[in-house]
Amino acid sequence: MLEIFATHEWNDAFSDSLRQQAIQNLEHGKILYFPALAFSLLPEEHLFLSPDIADPHAKNVSYHPTLRKLWGVQRLTDAERIQLQSMLDRFSRYAQQLIHALLPHYREQLTLARTSFRPVQISQRKTSYRKDDKRLHVDAFPSAPNQGKRILRVFCNINPQGEDRVWRVGEPFETVANRFIPQLRKPFPGSAFALRLLKITKSYRTLYDHYMLQLHDCMKADDHYQQQAAQQEIRFPPGSTWIVQTDHVSHAAMQGQHVLEQTFYLPVEAMDDASCSPLRILEKILKQPLV
């Protein structure tokens, strides 16, 4: 389930054989785990380690590193906003360095997406089942269709009180997909156009996006599945980092507070073995093109 790296610098260099192993393991659904890769805060950044800075309506504090736009925050002065932005910017650059060094094969085709900071304790968060990441799921974003692209994420636990980020990791994607496919409904004719027209989605919701969302929702809605599916608890202590393709690895975040995260998108064509992608697996099972 985990491939462990001894790295403790964000700009470390990796041998060809380590890179090869990393890409293969990642594409086959393993988590690349860096138990000694920490992100240090500057003294003035410690004040951000509080749930009070997060807008209660948003799940996370979000930052768009290319547009330099910050949202999902409250009660910050202009100077504090700039400081928080610079902290997220630094994390984003470190995450990019790590991905570029370890997975250079992806570099040209990788899109940098959102950076997030999660200062709210997960175990106490009350939400609808759809938004509840304490339930096993694969990632699919309702308003941001990714049209088949892979979701690659770098997480780093920056908890100052020694609290682990506790995840459950479930079955391989193909097993999950085969189990839920009979329950998935086809989209209503014209619905993707309507969603786009009404600006509910930021881009066209392809069949792939539709089925991934259904899969995400059906997994979360199924109490029996949540308890009975083969799964394993993984604890990520403070000062550790992990890379995971969250569209592929069934996961649930059970406990923890203060994590940083950087998202990237990757076209399946850039993969070493695209047949491992959720897109190609769903296309194989459903016997039709989905994008």
Ligand X SMILES: O=C(O)CCC(=O)C(=O)O
Residues of the shown chain interacting with Fe ion in the complex, contacts defined by CB under 5 A: 139, 246
**Alpha-helical regions (H) of 158-222:** 173-180, 191-197, 207-221
259 interacts with, out of Fe ion, ligand X, none, CB within 5 to 8 A per kind: ligand X
7 has which bridge partners?
none
Q: Is 251 one of the binding residues for ligand X (CB under 6 A)?
A: yes
Q: Cβ 178 to ligand X, closest distance in Å?
A: 22
165 interacts with, out of ligand X, Fe ion, none, CB within 5 to 8 A per kind: ligand X
283 interacts with, out of ligand X, Fe ion, none, CB within 5 to 8 A per kind: none
Q: How far apart are CA 232 and CA 291, in angstroms?
A: 33
Strands of the chain (E only): list them. 2-4, 31-34, 61-64, 69-71, 111-118, 150-157, 165-169, 232-236, 241-245, 251-255, 259-266
Among 201, 246, 257, 277, binds ligand X (CB under 6 A): 246
Q: How far apart are CA 290 and CA 206, in angstroms?
A: 7
Pick out residues in 111-140 that bind ligand X (CB under 6 A): 118, 133, 139
- Indicate the residue among 166 and 184 with the shorter CB distance to ligand X: 166
The residue count for binding ligand X (CB under 6 A) is 8
For 200, other C-beta atoms within 10 Å of its C-beta total 12
Q: How far apart are CA 151 and CA 139, in angstroms?
A: 8
Q: Is 168 one of the binding residues for ligand X (CB under 6 A)?
A: no
217 interacts with, out of Fe ion, ligand X, none, CB within 5 to 8 A per kind: none
What binding mask, one character per residue, do residues 213-242 give for ligand X by CB under 6 A, x or -?
------------------------------
Decide if 207 contacts 148 (C-beta within 8 A): no
Q: Which residues bind ligand X (CB under 6 A)?
A: 118, 133, 139, 165, 246, 251, 253, 259
